Amino acid sequence: GMARVKSSTRLFGGLLQRMVHGSEACGCEMTFSVYLPPAAQTSRLPTLYWLSGLTCTDENFSAKSGFARRAAERGLAVVIPDTSPRGVNIPGEDDSYDFGSGAGFYVDATVEPWAKHYNMYSYITAELPSVVHASFPGQFTGRKSVSGHSMGGHGALTIFLREAGAYEAVSAFAPICRPTRCPWGDKAFQGYLGGDEALARQHDACELIKAGAGDLAGRRILVDQGSADTFLGLAEGSVNQLRPADLEAACAERGADLTLNYCEGYDHSYYFLSTFIDDHIDHHADALL
């Protein structure tokens, strides 16, 4: 189906549009943003899909990351979905920041009552691209790539690996690299997937890489990780939710091309993202343009 324009804002010579549509995958109305750089006026463009982290909507990235200056320069369109279904009235959906609303984890839930609505994997990989193309006819080439932050970094890596050849590049900021081995992932996979360990492994970037998933030939995985990120479990009594060393080990075992940058002194926030976003826009533009 088609999405309707909710709002439209001029940004670095291009247009940031918030769109609303009725989603079949999620069984509710969903909002996403699309950035059309100035180049969209004269040519069809490839698309970077950005997947946000826990608690986020499409607006965190569009307002805080500073992505648009370089996206405008490079002529890269950007699609920014929400992180979960909204307002579907499942008991407990708003009880915690790391499960339910704002925390769809980029899986298709198999457990009721979540299974009826929490199908963010299908939404991102299948429904959203078709809605984007229907809503902006003739605007996009169909070539795409994927990036994200934290939970969205997990989404970007797993979607890139599972949908072999569908996305031409991948990058992530502070991704949840091994969700089968951290509390955030345990909670999500228990709640959405009923603790099915085999299914959980199919949504774990490290497990997917070790199992040979994805087409990695000639494709470099770019990951930036703040060295002062509180979710690395460096402080006494804190937990390592991100496990970048596990990703490094999995890529080494596979012979995969990983650039893992530890960014000295940076935390988990959009201050960190905005500092390094240009490198990521360039990584995707280089692959797509």
- Per residue, the 3-state secondary structure of 219-277, as one string, reads CEEEEEEECCCCCECCCCCCCECCCHHHHHHHHHHHCCEEEEEEECCCCCCHHHHHHHH
Decide if 133 is catalytic. no
End-to-end C-alpha distance for the chain, whole angstroms: 28
CA dihedral sign of residues 204, 153, 82, 53: positive
CA dihedral sign of residues 145, 86, 268, 186: negative
The one catalytic residue among 268, 280, 283, 284: 268
The one catalytic residue among 82, 108, 204, 229: 229
Neighbour tally for 199: CB within 10 Å? 15
The one catalytic residue among 135, 150, 154, 284: 150
Tokens of 50: 């950005």
Helices (H) and strands (E) in the chain, counts: 10, 9
Would you call 114 helix, strand, or coil by DSSP?
A: helix
Tokens of 268: 């988990």
Decide if 154 is catalytic. no
Q: Is 115 exposed, middle or buried (0-12, 13-18, 19+ CB in 10 A)?
A: middle
Active site residues: 150, 229, 268
